[in-house]
Amino acid sequence: MKTPVRVRFAPSPTGHLHIGGARTALFNYLFARQQNGVFILRLEDTDQARSSEDSVQMILADMQWLGLTWDEGPETGGDFGPYRQSERLQMYESKALQLLEQGKAYFCFCSPEEVEAKRQAALAQGGQPKYDGTCRALSPEQARQRIAPGASYAIRFKTPQTGETIINDCIRGRVVFDNSTLDDFVIVRSNGLPTYNFAAVVDDAAMEITHIIRGDDHLSNTPRQICLYQALGAPLPEFAHVPMILGPDKTRLSKRHGATSVGAYAEQGYLPEALVNYLALLGWSFDDKTTLFSMDELIEKFSLEKVSKNPAVFDPQKLLWMNGHYIRNIETDLYNERSRCELKKAGLVGNNPTQEEQVMATAAAGVVREKFKLMSELPQQVEYFFREPKLEALDEKSKNMLAGMKENPGLFKSLHEKLSMVESFSVSNLEALFKDFIEEKQVKFGALAHPLRVCLTGRMQSPGLFEIMEKMGKEKVLRRLASGMKAAGIL
Ligand code: GLU
């Protein structure tokens, strides 16, 4: 029987979940779901100074928002926990002890300053800036003698100095590292905490991770980690290093390129469906032409073989276009629900919207659905459905349009009268009414529609006038037309 797939996303909770991290999490998630495997979330929080609980909560919330639910991890639990490295310190200690006892690791008493000075000296002589192995030669007896009076020490791994370490990466192919370029790296710091390379390997082995899918900035760590696996006698997982993400100017994606955190995209009005779809295309493609994929389609079609070695370029315009597509195409119930949230945030409907507010929210959001690309634009688009337009604060054009009503006061009074007689304010009834009215009065449609639009919305542009009138309802339309006429001085 095939070993069940177990993959993990292992963020360090030192800030927001960024685009790159989210893409790595997504690839792990897709692979796990497709293989009926297990997706694990592990928090690499041993850097006490930089890790924070706030960051943990943001990462968990952003993962959930994206729909990347984990099977094992913080708050969910699982058989291989705990899932925070800060709660696994005993495990690292016992593995470090095991390596020390087997002579595969050693105590190092060199101070950070000494180590740095040696690295600099090596560099100056054109050599590799690596640890020179001073303490490698100490016998366990000599080490114990220095520890007894309280000397501070780190623990270093005895990296093989000859031979090669080979990675058969699912994406990069065969990558060969000459062991002589690897130094005896620290596995436990002088403060007793494990380093990333050590903790990650101890955990990946203990959690029986089968595939390590992560950013290719970790490729250079991989030979060290492979050596650790071998020293610990643990079976090697598969490795898949996904390409880095560049900004539109082809430099590494960073804050300079604008928002990079998932939370910021959510805040700006991107939909999780759009972000997931777009992230999947950062490095992966199905057939070079299909761009729209639902999560289910991604799960079905994703494969590591089709992930490119080459860096992916982040294109904000394409993401924006995609967001517009999802706004128009997600299920209507979901769209209505998200719309209500935006309208609440903007204070256009109450926190517990009344029935009337809910009906208006759905109607208004429906009318403008084709017109915008970010959910955060919705409140501005539909504000006039909820608030009377400020006729005293119109822009110049709208003001003139309103004032122009004075030229034919009777026309608008009689329109008001006609409208007040319509029983059902439906688009078709209104269409028929306007058609007759124009003919009777011998005016152009625009001569009526433009000023009326300003009365109803306070704007020169809006979606179809009849649609707006239908959604606003008779009472509001008549009231606003009357207010407009008053403002124009004809009532
Ligand atoms: N904590 C590491 C990071 O955030 C994890 C790298 C890995 O997946 O091994 O970069």
Neighbours of 295 (CB within 10 A): 19
Of ligand 1's listed atoms, the one at least distance from the Cα of 24 is 8
Atom 3, ligand 1: residue with shortest CA distance? 11
Pairing assessment for the beta strands 105-108 and 154-157 based on DSSP bridges: antiparallel
Q: Where are the alpha helices (DSSP H) in 281-426?
A: 295-301, 316-329, 332-345, 355-368, 378-386, 396-403, 409-421
Give the catalytic positions in this structure.
255
Return averaged pLDDT per consecutive 10 residues of the chain, 491 residues in all. Answer: 90 96 98 98 95 97 98 97 97 98 96 89 84 91 93 96 96 96 95 97 98 97 98 98 95 86 96 98 95 98 97 96 98 97 97 95 97 97 96 94 94 97 95 96 95 97 96 97 95 83
Pocket test for ligand 1, best of 196, 217, 226 (most atoms within 8 A of CB): 196
Residue 384: alpha-carbon gap to chain centroid: 32
pLDDT score of 2: 75
Give 241 Cα–ligand 1 centroid separation in angstroms.
Answer: 11
As a whole number of angstroms, the distance between CA 122 and CA 116 comes to 10
Of ligand 1's listed atoms, the one at least distance from the Cα of 225 is 9
Query: Is the pTM value of this prediction over 0.75?
Result: yes
Residue reference for tokens 């041993």: 46
Of ligand 1's listed atoms, the one at least distance from the Cα of 200 is 9
CA nearest 80: which of 224, 204, 250, 231?
204
Give 97 Cα–ligand 1 centroid separation in angstroms.
Answer: 24
As a whole number of angstroms, the distance between CA 436 and CA 482 comes to 21
Give 11 Cα–ligand 1 centroid separation in angstroms.
Answer: 6
Give 197 Cα–ligand 1 centroid separation in angstroms.
Answer: 9
Residues whose CB falls within 8 Å of the CB of residue 424, separated by 6 or more in sequence, listed in order: none
Pocket test for ligand 1, best of 47, 202, 213, 218 (most atoms within 8 A of CB): 218
Give 244 Cα–ligand 1 centroid separation in angstroms.
Answer: 14
Pocket test for ligand 1, best of 44, 46, 50, 85 (most atoms within 8 A of CB): 44
Of ligand 1's listed atoms, the one at least distance from the Cα of 44 is 1
CA nearest 272: which of 48, 7, 64?
64
Give 96 Cα–ligand 1 centroid separation in angstroms.
Answer: 20
Handedness of CA 176, 179, 180, 184 (dihedral sign): positive
pLDDT score of 254: 87
* Cα separation values, 407 from 300, 391, 403, Å: 65, 18, 8
pLDDT score of 1: 66
Atom 6, ligand 1: residue with shortest CA distance? 10
Of ligand 1's listed atoms, the one at least distance from the Cα of 204 is 9
* Contact in structure between 154 and 108 (CB atoms under 8 Å): yes
Residues whose CB falls within 8 Å of the CB of residue 477, separated by 6 or more in sequence, listed in order: 419, 425, 456, 469
* Contact in structure between 224 and 185 (CB atoms under 8 Å): yes
Residues whose CB falls within 8 Å of the CB of residue 35, separated by 6 or more in sequence, listed in order: 4, 5
* Contact in structure between 439 and 387 (CB atoms under 8 Å): no
* Contact in structure between 377 and 364 (CB atoms under 8 Å): no
* Contact in structure between 299 and 37 (CB atoms under 8 Å): no
* Cα separation values, 434 from 420, 463, 472, 474, Å: 13, 17, 17, 15
As a whole number of angstroms, the distance between CA 314 and CA 14 comes to 23
* Cα separation values, 355 from 16, 207, 342, 360, 365, Å: 37, 50, 17, 9, 15
Residues at CB less than 6 angstroms from ligand 1: 10-12, 44, 200, 214, 218
